[in-house]
Structure 1
Amino acid sequence: MPYRSRFPAGLALACMLAGGCLSSAASASPAATLAPIRLGMIEGMSGPFANAGEAVEHNIRFAVEQVNARGGVRLPDGRHSLSLTVFDSKQGVEDALLQLKQLTDQKIPFVLEGNSSAVAGALVEAINKHNARTPDNRVLFLNYSAVDPALTNEKCSFWHFRFDANADMRMRALVEVIKSDHQAKSVYLIGQDYSFGQQVAKAARQQLQAARPDIRIVGDELHPIGKVKDFAPYIAKIRASGADTVITGNWGNDLTLLVKAAKEAGLRLKFYTFYANSLGAPAAIGDAGVGTVRAVAEWHPNIADGVQNAASDAFYRSFRQRFPQPKDDYLFLRMDVMIDMLASAIEKAQTTEAAAVARALEGAQYKSKFHEASMRTSDHQLIQPLYVAVMQKLADGGIRFDNEGSGYGFKTERYLAPAATALPTTCKMQRP
């Protein structure tokens, strides 16, 4: 699935407002004659989470196009465009490892993945071994969504960089809201049965105990990932538990079907989620979610009123112009930040060699007119703001944008500055 450049109207404006344009880009000639810098995305493009894979691909292509539109990446021999190749992991570990082999055989220097922490963990181990065996063909792993904290703690790697807040960081943001929600008395934990879902439940228990010891955990359920077609039995358990609040890290169809089952059962609860702002969830929740469903993210279209809105709104509108279908309304800033920071690191390193780019990424800063972030050197965890946002109805006038044409969007309830989201790390990184 080779990359084909398509530059929509307004893309240069979005680049300018985001504040991430490379120096001298305005006068740069197109990087058409030099070999492109290749990126390989390993993701589930088929199976139950194919829509999530497609959504990520759109985000990455949009970010790649922004870099190319401003002239590409400057190396000593001139400017190079970025090129994206997609490898289908079918959301499985073994398939992902097979795709990694194809990627390294093609000598693609940068690996992108994120929709599965289980896959990410396996890729980290495989890349560690590959880079030790083949120092002349080393690769760098850029992780945009796999949020298992172990990846930047006990399993940290010099070759891995995470651009999303980890599960503990996201949970901390949600708990900051829950601890002041005096109506929350009994919480039901439900999640997907793999490393990420297990960590979400663990983090919820630990952080709730510290922040709100009066809250009772009345259920703690893990279900098979991507296999449950009817969540009605789980909703029946939640109802029987007497819970008034649900915490879930579910994503994709597992989240959409969960909240849809709650709606169909007439069970009105507060949902504190990681991902209720995308992939069909707002439409599935509908009116039942207004004022009760919350999501946490590093950015969302309806960030707080103020001067930053002009830049943020232009960024969002340029993406929607590029991908106008309602089902494609899935924009997460961290993926754009990731590609922008990679391009800057390659320029700083003056090479695409993995170790040199990794060293250039360590401690790197990102700043636009509406976002700032820094890559922590000790564990390669991006430190950035987090927003907890609550679902609202567009027609009520409290938000500027809805999600996926659903008529529902999210309004900022709590903003956490970068310093407030950072958590300690246990990483003891081995550097080459």
Structure 2
Amino acid sequence: MGKWTKWAAIAGAIWVLAVPMAGTARAGEAPAPIQLALIEGMSGPFADAGAAVERNIRFAIERVNARGGVKLPDGPHALKLVVLDSQGSAEQALVQLRAAADRHIPFVLQGNGSAVAAALVAAIDKQNAREPDNRELFLNYSADDPALTGASCSFWHFRFDAHAGMRMNALADVIARDKSVKRVYLLNQDYSFGHDVSTLARAALAAKRPDVTIVGDEFHPIGRVKDFTPYIAKLRASRADAVVTGNWGNDLALLVKAAREQGFAGRFYTFYGNSLDAPAAIGEAGVGRVVAVADWHPNAGTAAVPAQRLPHADASASDAYYAAFRARFPAARDDYALLRIDVMIEMLADAITRAHGTDAAAVAKALEGMHYENGFVQATMRADDHQLIQPLYVIEMDKVGAPGVRFDNEGSGYGFRTVLALSPSQTEGGAGECRMKRP
């Protein structure tokens, strides 16, 4: 049992669970906690990513509870996390979603895997139509398939991460400036998100770098490749000088580790090169060669070039958030802070207060159009498609202590500097194909 799990058990014991969701407390009793169901792969190939998400959610919940919880007419309610292991599969995620519904948990959190997210959206749509007195709201912190806020958008789904199109456009802006890139290999996980990255990369490169040649476009099984050596051999044979990949979790860490071991000299333009375990796996070979895109990173408050700092962003607020996270989780292996999860929990708590309760429809309406600001991040939940509009940073790997790199990742000695900072107005785009059906 981790430190955060022990804390949750102690905190949960303080509160008396009278009903599964917020309700009127009996005399002398504390109001019931508001339950949030985390449906995530806590075992299996992406268990480390699941554990990192859990840490971030617990950290955000602790911050809300430390202020007295969520204020409702019958008093303050603590937030309580219920962790349900999907083992990384859509089938198990649906089993756990049913378990959450049986417990009348109104809020479902998930993000590691767009295929899983799509299955949850479809199931929640049916659940909410079938049982209007037991409706659920889905808060997505990482599933980046554009369809989730596009053609497959749902009133019951809110995304707090940038989608793949937003991330690819940011990366393409940097690739457009890098004239050394002539031959690009696309390598992605074989599921909806990976195919989206491939399609979006082709379109973005055609628009911004038509001189670039795509020398490979390959997909590999998600979470099942243990040795990426054969893929690196193909990269080298293609004479690619850059790779564009949306890989995450072990699939990214193992890919970049194989690249280092096999001496692949090309640059990596990634969606998640700064993610869990990746910087340590890349090591020295990543300095000046690995680029990622993020909604925030530990060095976001440090701009080696003043123009790379967003206006109205208080660097001290960014540093304070990161310092608080590291104080809570001081182990180097736990050094993976996801500011968007903190934003998600803060916005949810505010929406519950505005809705005067936990009714999913009322909370959804409170979230629509909500603006959030914490001194460093300015974000707005777009009502048309439930996509959070927020800043994005394109970042490059370097040694800690280099200009713009005060903090490393996971004690690896390597961190990231900002090379391009995009304001919310520069990242938003349009609502696209979303034709939302409202209750």
Answer whether TM exceeds 0.5 for this pair: yes
Instruction: Spell out, residue by residue over 1:179-234, the C-alpha distance to the aligned partner (whole angstroms, 9 max, x if none).
Output: 11111111000010001101000100011111111100000010000111110100
Identify which of 316, 321, 325 aligns with 1:315: 321
Name structure 2 gaps, 5 residues minimum: 12-27, 304-308
Identify which of 348, 356, 362 aligns with 1:356: 362
Deviation at 1:398, TM superposition (A): 4.0
- Alpha-carbon distance in structure 2 between the residues aligned to 1:308 and 1:423: 25
Deviation at 1:104, TM superposition (A): 0.3
When structure 1 is superposed on structure 2, of 80-89 and 273-282 the one drifting more is 273-282
Amino acid at match of 1:166: H
Amino acid at match of 2:142: S
Give the structure 2 partner of residue 405 of structure 1.
411
Amino acid at match of 2:139: L
- Alpha-carbon distance in structure 2 between the residues aligned to 1:324 and 1:417: 31
- Alpha-carbon distance in structure 2 between the residues aligned to 1:140 and 1:420: 28
Instruction: Spell out, residue by residue over 1:34-79, the C-alpha distance to the aligned partner (whole angstroms, 9 max, x if none).
Output: 1000000000000010000000000000000010011100111011
- Alpha-carbon distance in structure 2 between the residues aligned to 1:65 and 1:128: 30
Give the structure 1 partner of residue 272 of structure 2.
275
Give the structure 2 partner of residue 385 of structure 1.
391
Give the structure 2 partner of residue 347 of structure 1.
353
Aligned sequence identity (%)? 63
Which runs of structure 2 are paired with 1:159-170 in the superposition (5 Å)?
159-170=156-167
Structure 1 residue 4 and structure 2 residue 9: aligned?
A: yes
Deviation at 1:266, TM superposition (A): 1.2
Instruction: Spell out, residue by residue over 1:361-401, the C-alpha distance to the aligned partner (whole angstroms, 9 max, x if none).
Output: 00000011111100000000000000000001014454110
- Alpha-carbon distance in structure 2 between the residues aligned to 1:131 and 1:396: 52
Structure 1 residue 243 and structure 2 residue 240: aligned?
A: yes
Instruction: Spell out, residue by residue over 1:156-185, the C-alpha distance to the aligned partner (whole angstroms, 9 max, x if none).
Output: 000000000000110010001001111111
Structure 1 residue 336 and structure 2 residue 351: aligned?
A: no
Deviation at 1:324, TM superposition (A): 1.1
Amino acid at match of 2:169: R
Identify which of 364, 370, 380 aligns with 1:374: 380
Deviation at 1:334, TM superposition (A): 0.6
Give the structure 2 partner of residue 209 of structure 1.
206
Are the counterparts in 2 of residues 32 and 80 from structure 1 also a CA contact under 8 Å?
no
Name structure 1 gaps, 5 residues minimum: 7-30
Deviation at 1:5, TM superposition (A): 5.8
Structure 1 residue 116 and structure 2 residue 113: aligned?
A: yes
Which runs of structure 2 are paired with 1:172-321 in the superposition (5 Å)?
172-303=169-300, 304-305=302-303, 308-321=314-327
Cα distance change on mapping 1:82 and 1:5 into 2, 3 Å: farther
Structure 1 residue 155 and structure 2 residue 155: aligned?
A: no
Partner secondary structure for residue 272 of structure 2: coil
Structure 1 residue 126 and structure 2 residue 123: aligned?
A: yes
Give the structure 1 partner of residue 61 of structure 2.
64
Are the counterparts in 1 of residues 186 and 218 from structure 2 also a CA contact under 8 Å?
yes
Deviation at 1:278, TM superposition (A): 2.3
- Alpha-carbon distance in structure 1 between the residues aligned to 2:385 and 2:9: 34
- Alpha-carbon distance in structure 1 between the residues aligned to 2:159 and 2:88: 19
Instruction: Spell out, residue by residue over 1:13-44, the C-alpha distance to the aligned partner (whole angstroms, 9 max, x if none).
Output: xxxxxxxxxxxxxxxxxx98110000000000
- Alpha-carbon distance in structure 2 between the residues aligned to 1:328 and 1:258: 21
Are the counterparts in 2 of residues 40 and 103 from structure 1 also a CA contact under 8 Å?
yes
- Alpha-carbon distance in structure 2 between the residues aligned to 1:157 and 1:51: 29
Structure 1 residue 77 and structure 2 residue 74: aligned?
A: yes
Q: Which has the higher contact order (CA 8 A, sep 6+)?
A: 1
- Alpha-carbon distance in structure 1 between the residues aligned to 2:281 and 2:76: 45
- Alpha-carbon distance in structure 2 between the residues aligned to 1:48 and 1:219: 26
Partner secondary structure for residue 268 of structure 2: strand
Partner secondary structure for residue 135 of structure 1: coil
With normalisation by structure 2, the TM-score equals 0.91
Are the counterparts in 2 of residues 171 and 200 from structure 1 also a CA contact under 8 Å?
yes
What value does the CA root-mean-square deviation take over the aligned residues?
A: 1.5
Cα distance change on mapping 1:32 and 1:163 into 2, 3 Å: farther
Instruction: Spell out, residue by residue over 1:292-328, the C-alpha distance to the aligned partner (whole angstroms, 9 max, x if none).
Output: 1011110001014477221111110111111111111
- Alpha-carbon distance in structure 1 between the residues aligned to 2:434 and 2:409: 37
Are the counterparts in 2 of residues 278 and 404 from structure 1 also a CA contact under 8 Å?
no
Give the structure 2 partner of residue 44 of structure 1.
41
With normalisation by structure 1, the TM-score equals 0.93
Amino acid at match of 1:77: D
- Alpha-carbon distance in structure 1 between the residues aligned to 2:404 and 2:121: 43
Which runs of structure 2 are paired with 1:81-100 in the superposition (5 Å)?
81-100=78-97
Runs of 4+ off more than 6 Å: none
Are the counterparts in 1 of residues 404 and 418 from structure 2 also a CA contact under 8 Å?
no
Partner secondary structure for residue 221 of structure 1: strand
- Alpha-carbon distance in structure 1 between the residues aligned to 2:74 and 2:44: 42
- Alpha-carbon distance in structure 1 between the residues aligned to 2:32 and 2:217: 52
